[in-house]
Amino acid sequence: MPMAFGIALAVSGLLLGLGIIGFAIRAVSDGFGAHGPWGYYAAIFSFIFMVTGAAPLAASIFRVTKSHWRRPLTRVSEMFSLIGIFNILLFIPLMFVLPAFRNPNLTPLAENELDLRRTIWFEVPIGANAPQWLDLLGIACLALCALVILWLSAVPDMAQARLRATGFRRSFYGVLAGHWHGTKSQWLNQKAGLALLGAFYFMLLVFMQFTISSDYAQSLIPGWKDSIFPVIYTLTGFQSSLGLMLVILFVLRRWGGYKGYIGISLFWSASKILLGLTLLWVYHMFAFGITYWYGRLEVEQNILKYLLFQSYGWLFLANLIFSFFLPFLTLLWNPVRRSDWGPALAGVFVLIGAFLFSWRIFVGAFNAGDVYNIGLEHVPAFVGPDLWDVLIVLGGLGGAVFIYLLGSRLIPMMCVWEIKEGAMYQHMGTFMRGRYLVLAKPE
């Protein structure tokens, strides 16, 4: 396993380096004046932000519901907080490619309300670039909140680790643990802090997913006005983040030496939630499609043809297969849900579906033509990736994996204090002729 970890770290670091090269060549050759060439960059940012941004929420939600099965999942979920810093760096270039509110090709005397790009920001008194800075502020606050959640959750483990660590690790754990000694007041404060920060993170996450999907997708396709799409974007993030965590837990259970900590009950319970998210996803996709289908306006028909049936039709079909049909058929069977490989396989499917979703929506939005038109007058063509786009996509994926792996070298992948706490709430009891696991409620 250490050799496999080293190989994975080296490969992800190499991909990150190639991505930086692809980004540099794209910036030099195309600049930041036009947004079209940056479609694949926006797509990989969307995918990473959508998946890793929603992942820390799982620990907070399942902690509030007092689920016993979620304990091995907690730290795997919270570790994605580290990628929040990477999301900030990825977003900064997108700030400079977002088109201005007003058409810069028109003189001030020729401007009218039809020359404005349609956005969710009706009035922005602090400047035309305010949405970009507000989006950056939101992503930064989201990353900071997630890091504080990770720190609060890891403090007891860091306090225990500093007693045995040496050298740099001892200093690192000592700084993180601070004055933690495990007193009753410290435990109560930690519990209250995790609950409050989890609630704030949930509200901020949904708002930022709404703004990113609106500013960098809907507002770039003339005439696209849809209140359902941000919900689809959020559901895709919830679905794919849970799927990714199940894949990681499967790897840790099978080859990471954590089989004694990660039981089958985790996969069985999480698979039910993943199945529910899959059904919610396809329902909202149906609601989006049927609204435009029966609207029958020309601009609505062009949007359907562009994103669903013609230009990106094959991507939509693949998206539908991987985000709904394959995970639904996999999780439909109870024996598969009760295994460790079944939910993990469904997790792989929904991850592929989420990537296809970001590819279809954001590449399509960035290449839809004149953003100042009142509507989509024709159906644009499909835009495929070039070599630099491929490097950028691989570099984005490699960077996220690289940061996660580095974090796992310093912070334990299992939340030790929560697993120990869970063991104190259960014992094997006898009823008539059978033996059963008895679970106690924390409070």
Q: For the residues of 316-335, what is the DSSP string, one character each?
A: HHHHHIIIIIHHHHHHTSHH
Other beta carbons less than 10 A from residue 36's beta carbon: 14
What is the per-residue pLDDT for 107?
54
Tokens matching residue 148: 């504080």
Q: What is the chain's length?
A: 443
Q: Find where tokens 């609106």 sit.
A: 214
Instruction: For residue 331, count CB atoms less than 10 angstroms from its CB and return exposed for 0-12, middle for 13-18, buried for 19 or more.
Output: buried
Angle at which helix 416-424 crosses helix 130-161, to 10 degrees, equals 60
What is the per-residue pLDDT for 126?
46
Q: Which of 237, 278, 321 is nearest to 48 (CA)?
A: 237
- CA 60, distance to chain mean position in Å, is 15
d(CA 138, CA 44): 19
What is the per-residue pLDDT for 119?
78
The torsion angles phi and psi of 421, rounded to 5 degrees, stand at -60, -45
Q: Helix (H) and strand (E) counts for the chain?
A: 17, 2
Q: Residues with Cβ < 8 Å from 155, sequence gap 6 or more? A: 176, 177, 178, 180, 190
Longest dimension (CA), the chain: 88
Other beta carbons less than 10 A from residue 112's beta carbon: 8
Q: Which of 89, 112, 108, 115 is nearest to 23 (CA)?
A: 89
CB 308 within 8 A of CB 382: no
- For 162, the 3-state DSSP assignment is coil
Q: Find where tokens 């270039």 sit.
A: 93
What is the per-residue pLDDT for 106?
63
| Measured distance between the N- and C-terminal CA atoms of the chain, rounded to whole angstroms | 39
CB 242 within 8 A of CB 273: yes
Tokens matching residue 420: 């120990």
What is the per-residue pLDDT for 109?
44
d(CA 363, CA 360): 6
What is the per-residue pLDDT for 123?
52
CB 61 within 8 A of CB 68: no
The domain spans of the chain are 1-98+129-216+382-443, 226-379
Other beta carbons less than 10 A from residue 173's beta carbon: 22
What is the per-residue pLDDT for 218?
92
Rg from Cα positions in the chain: 23
d(CA 316, CA 320): 6
d(CA 63, CA 162): 26
The torsion angles phi and psi of 385, rounded to 5 degrees, stand at -85, 150
pLDDT tens per residue across all 443 residues of the chain = 678 899 999 999 999 999 999 999 999 999 998 999 999 999 999 999 999 999 999 999 999 888 888 999 999 999 999 999 999 999 999 999 988 877 766 655 444 555 667 777 765 544 556 678 889 999 999 999 999 999 999 999 999 888 888 888 888 888 888 889 889 999 999 999 999 999 999 999 999 999 999 999 999 999 898 889 999 999 999 999 999 999 999 999 999 989 989 999 999 999 999 999 999 999 999 999 998 888 888 889 999 999 999 999 999 999 999 999 999 999 999 899 999 999 999 999 999 999 999 999 999 999 998 888 888 889 999 999 999 999 999 999 999 999 999 999 989 899 988 988 888 888 888 878 788 877 777 66
